[in-house]
């Protein structure tokens, strides 16, 4: 409201053509219109349940309990599991993509790849030094630089890990980054062994 009422909003949410992230999200009607047949009307409109005013906390609790699933999993482990699955689908080095971006110019690919191999170790060391100083902002900036360098050579796993470190540094999660830096180094070690020719 005032643009749309609850039924119109629910119709929009349930419409698969809308931009709603999760069309199946639970929708519970809350209204002062406690008339006979209201519950059926709201259910037919696509809502999951119905509460009437004045709202009793116990009633709200019982309804929410039906639709909210609480998983005892930390945000960090969810992030890490998602990250692992995402990175598994990526390439250590997407050679084909790099050649496409550089119009199959072998000498240019070789030159840029060589620059990457020469520059990246210093940037990784700078990131480690920033981490050891507990300087989250510097870690964020260093990871951002590595991310860009990795993108230049289509080193997808390295790029994704640098992005993850950048995001974690922005949230000041240095304890998480401690375990991600060795993974970053490992991805670089794998890329530098690739043959750009």
Residues 45 and 107 in one domain: no
**In a shared domain, residues 63 and 92:** no
Q: What percent of the residues of the chain are helix, what percent strand, and what percent coil, each to the nearest 5?
A: 65, 5, 30
Could you tell me the CATH number of the domain that includes residue 107? 1.20.120.160
> How confident is the model over 26-74, as pLDDT tens digits?
888 877 665 666 667 777 888 888 787 766 777 777 777 777 654 444 4
156 in the same domain as 112: yes
pLDDT for residue 175 is more than 50: yes
**85 and 49 together in one domain:** no
- In this prediction, residues 20-28 reach a mean pLDDT of 79
Q: 22 falls in which pLDDT band (50, 70, 90)?
A: confident
Residue 98 in any domain: the answer is yes
Q: 197 lies in a domain? A: no
Residue 148 lies in a domain: yes
Out of 14-23, 67-76, 166-175, 179-188, pick the least confident. Answer: 67-76
Instruction: Assess whether 160 and 187 both reside in one domain.
Output: yes
pLDDT band at 167 (very low <50, low <70, confident <90, very high): very high
- In a domain, residue 59? The reply is yes
Which residue pairs from 30-39 have beta carbons closer than 8 angstroms and sit at least 24 positions apart in sequence?
A: 30/55, 31/6
* pLDDT tens digits along 68-117: 654 444 444 446 667 667 776 788 999 999 999 888 999 999 999 999 99
Does residue 1 form part of some domain? no
Q: Do 179 and 142 lie in a common domain?
A: yes
Q: Are 10 and 98 in a shared domain?
A: no
Residue 56 shares a structural domain with residue 91? no
Q: pLDDT band at residue 14, thresholds of 50, 70 and 90?
A: confident
Q: What is the pLDDT of residue 79?
A: 60
* Residue 144, domain member (yes or no): yes
- Residue range(s) defining the domain that contains residue 58: 6-67
What's the DSSP call for residue 23? T
Q: Are residue 110 and residue 138 in the same domain, yes or no? A: yes
The Cα 147–Cα 118 span in angstroms is: 15
**At residue 29, what are phi and psi to the nearest 5 degrees?**
-75, 140
Which of 23, 51, 67 finishes a domain?
Answer: 67
The tally of domains found in the chain comes to 2
Pair 86, 136 in one domain: yes
Decide if 114 is inside a domain: yes
* Across 135-149, average pLDDT: 96
> What is the pLDDT of the chain when averaged over all its residues?
84
| Claim: this prediction has a pTM higher than 0.75 | no
The CATH code of the domain that includes 11 is 3.40.50.2300
Same domain, 49 and 80: no
């Amino acid at each position: 409201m005032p643009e749309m009422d609850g039924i119109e909003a629910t119709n929009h949410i349930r419409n698969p053509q809308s931009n709603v992230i999760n069309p199946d999200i639970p929708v519970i009607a809350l209204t002062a219109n406690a008339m006979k047949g209201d519950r059926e009307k709201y259910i037919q409109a696509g809502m999951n349940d119905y509460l009437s005013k004045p709202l009793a906390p116990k009633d709200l609790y019982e309804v929410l309990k039906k639709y909210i699933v609480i998983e005892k999993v930390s945000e960090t482990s969810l992030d890490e599991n998602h990250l692992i699955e995402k990175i598994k689908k990526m390439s250590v080095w997407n050679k084909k993509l790099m050649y496409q971006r550089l119009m199959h110019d072998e000498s240019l690919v070789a030159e840029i790849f060589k620059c990457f191999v020469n520059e990246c170790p210093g940037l990784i060391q700078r990131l480690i030094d920033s981490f050891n100083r507990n300087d989250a902002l510097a870690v964020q900036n260093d990871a951002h630089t590595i991310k860009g360098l990795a993108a230049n050579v289509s080193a997808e796993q390295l790029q994704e890990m640098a992005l993850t470190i950048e995001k974690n540094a922005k949230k000041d999660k240095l304890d998480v980054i401690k375990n991600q830096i060795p993974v970053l180094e490992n991805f670089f070690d794998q890329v530098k062994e690739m043959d750009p020719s």
